[in-house]
Structure 1
Amino acid sequence: MDARALPVTFDDVRRAAQMIEGQIVRTPCTRSRVLSQITGAEVWIKFENFQFTASFKERGALNKLLSLSESERAAGVAAMSAGNHAQGVAYHATRLGIKSVIVMPANTPFTKVRNTRELGGEVILHGETLADAQEFLEAELLRKRGMTLVHPYDDPYIVAGQGTVALEMLEQAPELDTLIVPVGGGGLISGMAIAAHGIAPTLRVAGVESMAYPSAYAALQNDPALVKGGQTIAEGIAVKNIGKLTLAIIREHVAELMRVDEAAIERAIGLLAAIEKVIAEGAGAVGLAALLADPAPFAGRKVGLVVSGGNVDTRLLASVLLRQLVNESRLISLSIDIEDRPGFLARVAGRIGESGGNIIQVHHERLHRGHAKNATLEVMVEAQDEAHARQIFDDLAAHGFVVRKGTGGMEFD
């Protein structure tokens, strides 16, 4: 396809950059020495989670809002979203004096509803899915009230606005030869690909989708059954249908599409927290997840990743980080048989302490199938790493304790 026939051009992205300049955060893009060592690529990270609403979505939303005529501004805008797009639209619409109405599914987490309202958006809860929300929006807000739709991804102004992420990245790290970008509806990757190829036509653009929601891959294969759906920690890219506009750009500009599972995404969130000291939502971590899952094709390349957002529920984040500690054997669960008499609990604690372990919690279980004069200690212990965890286990066994792996933690021979 002739690039001029695509719905968004490089000039559109440059124009968007001029329009939104000074109204969004020019987020940092820095090289990660540790992630470069781990992956074998030279890794740069663009921290879009540092935007005011903690997501790149502000860029496209603002560019769309700035394109409106006076009559469209007066009538207000409408959007359907259960997350980052809602907050981006509400924030910038309010800042520009434009009324915004956001239709969200009825089961949207309260924190997201509250955040959108606090940013100035009127929230209407309707239906069970985004498709239900969109039907209501089109019937009640667009047709009856004449409001303008600010689509989450399938709009030329949205795509051009998102493309400014790549413009900044290639100014900040011009040596980049590869971009790995999250893919949901396709707005971010299509805009970034247009921008990147306007600057460096041979630059490699790769997309990453959730294993449960490979909407772009399914569309390219003409097989919608590939999108299985279901729960995912990467809610921000859990999109069943890729945009029509964005798909045309992906066909022309994206070299490959990768898919990552939940375990890989969790690991990436944990590493970004531990190494880069940043909070990334699931969708924001999939680029790193893909690089970690299959580093060989990117070895030696200069790779740019986008942490596209940082809006993650704190309870979910805590669960992910704890699970990561278990997976790394830095948190181990041990089941230890002892005699049920004074002093034995102290002996176990002493041995673990001598080995350098830190007891997080302990449960003294007397209702077990063994001898009535015995008991079982269920102990959660913090270790430095897998080797240290094994040392703690072996030291307990060497001192005569019958010890087994508990309900969580690593396997021992």
Structure 2
Amino acid sequence: MISLEGIVLAQEKMRGIVHETPLDYSKTLSDLSGNEVYLKLENLQKTGSFKVRGSYNKMMNLNQDELQNGVVAASAGNHAQGVAYSSKMLGIPCTIVMPKGAPIGKIQATKRYGAKVELYGSGVDEALVYAKKIQEETGAAFVHPFDDSYVIEGQGTIGLEILRQLPDIDAVICPVGGGGLIAGVAYAVKKMKPSIQVYGVEALACSSMSSSLKERKPVMVEAMPTMADGIAVKKPGDLTFQLVQEYVDDIFCVDEMEIARTMLMVLERNKLLVEGSGACALAALLYRKVPLKDKKVVTVLSGGNVDVSFISRIIERGMVEAGRYAYFSIVLMDKPGQLEKVLEIIAELQANVMQISLHHIGEHIFPGSAELKLTIETRDSDHIREVFQALNGKGYHVLNKISLHE
């Protein structure tokens, strides 16, 4: 099991190797949530995630005999980079098994740290099984992404930093996947100050920890696709489950809409790039899932490794879900002046046309007509409804609306 002494020792060992990340107060997020909100910026950590803390601490506690055949690990991306970076710092050969669907940016970043990357399985759980097979065949030391006492103690150093940076804190909210982060943070802060409330947040698409707590044992769950891929763990660890059961006050879930909107909000308002997993804790606070009011709250932004090609899609999805984008089509008479009339209606309502196309063949298109497809930028969901109502009022039937508020 872990100990507070072990967490303190881990902090000493990694001094100068990992960052003590900032604790940033946000007035905007405070006003929105009804609490005094501080962001623990682990998205600014070495390798872009908190994971480097646990992996480095684990490897620092392996002896030379254990390290002679290198290390092997499995991860969707952040643990992979943490292990690869730690291996590079310590001069240790490293093999990482990543799911076949892992983000390309995370795969490339892991390789750049000098690791050998093998792609296997559809998720972290399958990658873990294959990594253990490699361990048995090669004799390499296995660095578990969460269910290991040294890994948990490494993550627990975040709790010590938070308490030093904000001693009068009321609550901490952490993302939850396998449970290593929240187990370490909860243990550290509860041992130092038992009155602090600690809450975990999962993606609704893969709620393994909350399901396990209900069953009073670690259970495997079916997972749906989620942008919070870093915490999409189908079964929590045995050790992390025990610690969460004892030290965490409650676990909540957020859906994809709430994650996307929070990612966009943090990017737009706080100028911070945060991945889906990293946004979950804040999403739960902003969407009032966590029962906190007028409290001093720290939310851990656990990572910022967003694939470059995915950033535009995150922004677009977040804007759609915030009522800032709408996609729709209208069937017009195919004659001069019809397009101009539609655009005049949209312009009068001060919506911005982002994309436009005209089609003469399709399901709703009859001879003498054309289908106009539009993408518009709007202020909010009320503004979208106003545009649709104005178009319908002028006799234009709005079809194929893609707006999650309609």
Q: Same fold by TM (over 0.5)? A: yes
Can you give the 5+ residue segments of structure 1 that lack an aligned partner in the other structure?
1-6
Q: What secondary structure is seen at the aligned counterpart in 1 of 2:376?
A: strand
Q: Which moved more, 1:11-20 or 1:208-217?
A: 208-217
Q: What amino acid sits opposite 1:150 in the alignment?
A: V
Quick one: which of 379, 382, 401 aligns to 1:384?
379
User: What is the one-letter code of the residue matched to 1:39?
Assistant: S
Highest CA radius of gyration, 1 or 2? 1
Stretches of structure 2 that go unaligned for 5 or more consecutive residues are none
CA-to-partner distance for each residue in 1:155-184, whole Å, 9 max, x for gaps? 111111101112112222223210111111
Residue equivalent to 1:342: 336
CA displacement 1:173-219 (0-9 Å, x = unmatched): 22321011111111101110121123211100011122233222233
Q: One-letter code of the match for 1:117? A: K
- Paired residue for 1:404? 398
Tell me which amino acid in the other structure corresponds to 1:227: V
Matched, 1:214 2:207: yes
The residue number in structure 1 matching 2:264 is 270
Partner of 2:11: 17
For structure 1, which segment, 237-246 or 358-367, has the greater mean C-alpha deviation from structure 2 after superposition? Answer: 358-367
For the residues of structure 2 that align with 1:307 and 1:313, how far apart are their CA atoms?
17
Which one of 273, 298, 306 corresponds to residue 300 of structure 2?
306
| C-alpha deviation, 1:379, in angstroms | 2.0
Q: Which residue number corresponds to residue 44 of structure 1?
A: 38
Report the 3-state secondary structure (helix = DSSP H, G, I; strand = E; otherwise coil) of the residue aligned with 2:304.
Answer: coil
Work out the percentage of aligned pairs sharing the same amino acid.
37
1:348/1:308 CA distance change after superposition, 3 Å: same
> Any conservation in 1 of the 2:35–2:294 contact (CA below 8 Å)?
yes
State the one-letter code of the partner of 2:159.
A
Q: Please give the per-residue CA displacement for 1:244-292, whole angstroms capped at 9, x wherever unaligned.
A: 2212211221111112222222222222222222222221111122223
In structure 2, distance between residues paired with 1:50 and 1:379: 38
- Note the alpha carbon deviations across 1:364-384, whole angstroms, 9 max, x for none: 234475774444432222122
Deviation at 1:84, TM superposition (A): 0.8
What amino acid is the match of 1:379? L
Quickly say closer, same or farther: Cα 1:124–1:320, change in 2 above 3 A.
Answer: closer
SS of the residue corresponding to residue 212 of structure 1 reads helix
Distance 1:358 1:136, change over 3 A: closer
AA paired with 1:217? S
Q: Distance in 2 between matches of 1:259 and 1:410?
A: 20
Establish whether residue 154 from structure 1 lines up as the match of residue 138 from structure 2.
no
Measure, in 2, the Cα distance between the counterparts of 1:288 and 1:173: 18
The one-letter code of the counterpart of 1:301 is K
Q: Is the 8 A contact 2:103 2:307 kept in 1?
A: no
- Give, in whole Å, the separation in 2 of the partners of 1:317 and 1:10: 39
**SS of equivalent residue, structure 1 residue 348:** helix
1:26 matched residue in structure 2: 20
1:202 has 2:198 as partner: no
User: Partner letter of residue 94 of structure 1?
Assistant: K
User: CA separation in 1, counterparts of 2:96 and 2:69?
Assistant: 14
- For 2:81 and 2:360, how far apart are their aligned partners in 1? 52
CA contact (8 A) 2:211 2:219 kept: yes
What's the counterpart of residue 104 of structure 1? 98
Structure 2 match to 1:189: 182
Structure 1 residues 383 and 195: alpha-carbon distance in aligned structure 2, compared to 1, 3 A threshold? same
1:118 pairs with 2:131: no
Q: Could you tell me how far 1:28 is from its partner in structure 2?
A: 1.3
Post-superposition Cα deviations, 1:103-126, rounded to whole Å, max 9, x if no partner, equal 234454444332211111122334
Query: 1:282 pairs with 273, 276, 280, which one?
Result: 276
CA contact (8 A) 1:266 1:324 kept: yes
Tell me the matched-pair count. Answer: 404
1:260 counterpart = 2:254: yes
User: Are 2:237 and 1:243 equivalent residues in the alignment?
Assistant: yes
Q: CA RMSD in A?
A: 2.5
Q: Is the 8 A contact 1:178 1:203 kept in 2?
A: yes
Are the equivalent residues in 2 in contact too, given 1:40–1:295 (CA < 8 A)?
no
The structure-2 alpha-carbon separation of the partners of 1:403 and 1:219, relative to structure 1 and needing over 3 Å to count, comes to closer
Label 1:80 to 1:323 Cα distance change in 2 as closer, same or farther (>3 A). Answer: closer
Structure 2: which amino acid aligns with 1:57?
A: K
Distance 1:173 1:224, change over 3 A: closer
1:266/1:70 Cα in 2 relative to 1: closer, same or farther (>3 Å)?
A: same
In the alignment, which residue of structure 1 is the partner of 2:166? 173
* Contact 2:254–2:284, Cα closer than 8 Å, also in 1: yes
Task: State the partner residue of 1:3.
Answer: none
Q: In the alignment, is the contact (CA less than 8 A) between 1:337 and 1:401 conserved in 2?
A: no
